[in-house]
Structure 1
Amino acid sequence: MMKLFLALVTALFLSTHLSALKIEDASKDFTREIPKQNVVVSYYDSIKDAKKAVVNISTQKTVKQADIRQMPFFNDPFFREFFRGFGDVVPQDRVQRSLGSGVIISSDGYIVTNSHVVDGADEITITLAGDSTTEHKAKLIGNDPKSDVAVIKIEQKNLPFIKFADSNNVLEGDVVFAIGNPFGVGETVTSGIVSALNKSGFGINAYENYIQTDASINPGNSGGALVDSRGALVGINTAIISRSGGNVGIGFAIPSNMAKTIALALVTDGVVKRGYLGVSIGDVTADLKEFYQNKSGALVMDIQKDSPAQKAGLKRGDLIIEIDSKPVSDASDLRNRIGMMVPNTNISIKYIRDKKTLITNATLTKLDDDKVASVSGERNLFNGLKVKEADGSVVVIEVEPNSKAAQKGFRINDMIIQIENMPISSFKDLNKALETYKGKKRVYIQRNNTIMMVVCE
C-alpha cells in the first residue's frame, strides 16, 4: 500500500511539473555493442542532433569599483600627497563579460545551463549552433546555486532540442562526448569515457553527485552537454580539477536526472523546494565499521529539534543504510537523495542501532535557508564556511560554492582542531582563538585520519 501511495504521489508530482515544461526522454530500448575489426567507428550520425541543441551563452554584468578615497591607505599623508596632483579620484565601474554553454531542452526555447554561468548577469545573450551572427536575448527563468543548475529562455519556436537519458543507467566505461564552446572558439565536440560515478565531497556545490569523465572540458564548456553514444543527454558539464585551469582529463557533469528534476522545478515554481529531514550526518570511518556490521551509509551525528528525523525516532549514532529500499552509500548520497525530494514526501528509512537493523518512516518538511541558519549551534566562518559544534569538536557542515572557503579546500565533515597554537574542541575555544588571532592565521583541520593546514583570515 505504501509503495502504491508513493507511486501515486510521484505520478502526481511529475504530471504537475510536466504540464509546464515537456521534456522528451530518449528511448529506453537500446543495447551496447563492441565495434568489429576493420570497421571505422563514427558517431557523427549519433551526435549531430545533440550538437544542434547546444548553444553559446555570453553574459555581461557591471562590477562596481571601490572608491579609492574610502580605502584605508588614502588617509596616510604620503598617499594623500601622491594623489594631490590627480584631483578627485573617481572610481569607474567596469563591465565583466564571460562565455559559457547551454543545452536546449524544449522546442519553445527553454535552455538549461550552470548557475555560475549566468549568476548575477545583467544581460544574457544566446547564439545558436551554426549561426554565430544572430544573437538572441535570454531571460532568466530560475537559478539554483546549490546544485549549480539554471534555466533561461529565448523567444523562439521549433528549435532543435536534446533528449534526456536516464543517468541511473550510466556505467563506468561508457563512451561519452562533451559538447560546448571552449575558449569561445565555437561549437566543439570532445570524446572520452565515464571515469567514475557518484563523485562528491569537493565543496564545489552543496549537492554533488557528479559523473566524472576524461572527455576534455575546458573554460566555456560549462553548462554544455555530456551525451552518450546515442546523442542522449547524460549530464551537464560543470567543473574540472586542474592546477592550470586547462583540461587534465578530470571533468565533472551534473547527472541528467538531477538536472531534469531541478529544471522542471525552476520552470514551474522559479525555485527548488527541497525536502528536509533534520539530521547532521557524516561518513563511517574505518574504525567504526565493526560497530555497524561493515555496512555503508550515512552516520547520524545530530538530530534537530522538532524535525522529521526526531519525530521518526532517529537518534545520534544511528547509521542510515537505506531510503525507500534503496541503499545509501554515504553522507553525500543521503544529502542528495533528500535534497531531490519535495516537502511532504513520506520516506521509509532503514538504519542500524546497537547492531540491530530497524525501519521507520518520516515525512519530509520544507528545507529553507532560514531554518538552517536558525539551527542551534551553527555559525558562519572564514567567508563561506558553516560549522557546528558536535561531540567535542567543531565540524564543517556546509561550504558555499565558489567562496573563499571553497577555494581554500574546505570540505563538509572537516573538523577544525586547532587555530595557531590553540586547540579547538568547542565554540568557546573557537571564539577565543578568533579574538586572539586577527588577520591571517593557520587553521588545522582533520579530514578522516589526515591533518592539514590552511591559512585563513
Structure 2
Amino acid sequence: MTRIIHFAVQFVIIGLAVAFLLVWLRPELLPAGRQQAASPATSYADAVNRTARSVVSVYTRTMVTEPLGPEFSDPLFNRLYRDRTVTRPRRGLGSGVIISSDGLVLTTQHVISDVDDILVALWDGRVADASVVGSDPATDLALLRVNLDDLPVASLAEDDDLRTGDVVLAIGNAFGLSHTVTMGIVSATSRGHLSLASTEDFIQTDAAINAGNSGGALINPDGEVVGINSASMGQETGAQGISFAIPASVVRRVTEQIIEYGRVTRGWMGAELTDVSLRLATAETLQPGARVSQVHRDSPAWKAGLQRGDVLISAGGQQVRSARELMQRIAGTEPGSELELEVLRGNQVFTTSVELIQQPPPQG
C-alpha cells in the first residue's frame, strides 16, 4: 500500500513538473493567455502604413465668370459695373487611390466633374497634373492618370465579405489635411435608395468622411481597400456618423471597363421599377415582384409592350426578388442581350422579351 501511495505521489509530481514546463514555454495555453491573445487590436498602424502611401490628395480648379456689379454696396458702382463680369478660380479638393504603378488613380466622379485643372499630391510631396481617363456617373467613380512611374499601389480586397460590425478606417484629404485617418465600423452593406447615384450599392459606415475625403480609401484591419469613400450625411440634416463608400467589387468592375472601353457598358431596358408583393393563384405565400412605375418612350421596354402598372415576376428564368435586385441584374447584362420577362397584368400572366441597350447617361 505504501508503495502505491509513493508511486502516485511521484506520478503527480512528474505531472505538475511537465505542466509547469509547458506553461512556461507556451503561456498562451492558459485560459488567461488565450483570452489575451484573442483580445482586439490596440493599434491599426500597420494597416494604415500599408495603404496610406497609395492615397493621394486631389486639388481642382475651375474658372467661373461672375457679374461684377453685385460686389458693390454703392448703387452708383452697381449701375456702372452691372454689365461687367470677372473671372475667378473656384477651387475644390478630394482624395484618390493609386491602383497601378504607372499612374492610374481612382477617385469619385463628383470631385472632378466639370473642372478645368486637376492636381494630384502624393505621399512623398510630389505634385503632378492629372488627366481624366474616364468616369461613371452611375456609380460616382472616375479614373485619372498622372505621368509618374513606380508608384505605390493599393491592394483592393478580393471579396465583398464585409459584415456589419467589422472595423474599417477611412484615409483621405479631409479639409485639406492630407492622409487624415478616421476609424469606425461597418454600419450596413448594400445600401440603396439614397439618391447619391443611379446605381447604388453602398457600404454604410460611422467612420468620419469629411469634405475632401471623397475618393479616398476605406480599408480593413489588413490594409486592404474595401471601398472608395463617396459621401456622408451632414449634421445640418441631424445625422451623425452616417457615411457611405463604394464597395471594392463595384470599383474593380467599373475600373476594368473604363480601362478597356473608356466607359462602362451597362444594360438598360427603359422602365422604372418599384417593389411590390403579390399572391399568385399558383402560390400559397406572398411573392415579391417589381411593378413598372414608368416606361420611357421608344425604349426597349416600350417596344416590348410593357405598361405602367405591370408587375415583373421573373426575368431570364429567375424569380424577381426586388426592384433594386432586378435593375442591378439588368445593368450587369451586356447591351444587345435579350431578356425574357414574365409579366402579370391584371389577372393575366404573359411573357415578353426586351433587347437591352446601353444605359444612357443620367439626365441633369
TM-score (norm 2): 0.76
Counterpart residue number, 1:52: 53
Counterpart residue number, 2:15: none
CA distance in 2, matches of 1:159, 1:82: 53
Change (3 A) 1:359 1:89: closer
Change (3 A) 1:46 1:354: farther
Counterpart residue number, 1:270: 262
Pairs aligned (count): 325
CA distance in 2, matches of 1:246, 1:188: 24
Q: Is the partner of 2:121 in helix, strand or coil?
A: strand
Percent pairwise identity = 36
Deviations for 1:246-304, whole angstroms, at most 9, x for unmatched residues? 982100011222222222222233333321112221222xxx55579533342223445
Counterpart residue number, 2:163: 171
Q: Is the partner of 1:300 in helix, strand or coil?
A: strand
Q: Is the 8 A contact 2:68 2:81 kept in 1?
A: no
Change (3 A) 1:120 1:259: same
CA distance in 1, matches of 2:316, 2:221: 32
State the 1:169 CA deviation. Answer: 2.7
CA distance in 2, matches of 1:254, 1:194: 12
Whose radius of gyration is greater, 1 or 2? 2
Task: Say which of 119, 128, 137 aligns to 1:125.
Answer: 119
Change (3 A) 1:52 1:325: farther
CA distance in 1, matches of 2:214, 2:127: 19
Verify: 1:345 aligned to 2:346, yes or no. no
Counterpart residue number, 1:109: 103
CA distance in 2, matches of 1:199, 1:36: 37
Return the letter of the residue paired with 1:116: H
CA distance in 1, matches of 2:264, 2:164: 30
CA distance in 2, matches of 1:352, 1:138: 51
Counterpart residue number, 2:206: 214
State the 1:323 CA deviation. Answer: 5.0
Q: Is the 8 A contact 2:67 2:82 kept in 1?
A: no
Verify: 1:365 aligned to 2:357, yes or no. yes
State the 1:61 CA deviation. Answer: 1.0
Q: Is the partner of 1:160 in helix, strand or coil?
A: coil
Change (3 A) 1:108 1:347: farther
Change (3 A) 1:311 1:54: same
Q: Is the partner of 2:94 in helix, strand or coil?
A: strand
CA distance in 1, matches of 2:313, 2:154: 36
Counterpart residue number, 1:237: 229
Task: Say which of 147, 156, 176 aligns to 1:155.
Answer: 147
Q: Is the 8 A contact 2:67 2:84 kept in 1?
A: no
Q: Is the partner of 2:286 in helix, strand or coil?
A: coil
Q: Is the 8 A contact 1:141 1:151 kept in 2?
A: yes
State the 1:47 CA deviation. Answer: 4.0
Change (3 A) 1:62 1:338: same
**What is the RMSD of the two structures over their aligned residues, measured on CA atoms?**
3.5
Q: Is the partner of 1:208 in helix, strand or coil?
A: coil
CA distance in 2, matches of 1:37, 1:355: 62
Return the letter of the residue paired with 2:358: K
State the 1:151 CA deviation. Answer: 0.6
Change (3 A) 1:123 1:153: same
CA distance in 1, matches of 2:98, 2:238: 26
CA distance in 1, matches of 2:160, 2:352: 26
Q: Is the partner of 2:288 in helix, strand or coil?
A: coil
CA distance in 1, matches of 2:51, 2:318: 32
Q: Is the 8 A contact 1:145 1:205 kept in 2?
A: yes
Return the letter of the residue paired with 1:202: L
TM-score (norm 1): 0.62
Q: Which runs of 5+ in 2 are unaligned?
A: 1-32
Q: Is the partner of 2:156 in helix, strand or coil?
A: coil
Return the letter of the residue paired with 1:143: S
Return the letter of the residue paired with 1:192: G
CA distance in 1, matches of 2:250, 2:98: 16
CA distance in 1, matches of 2:237, 2:89: 23
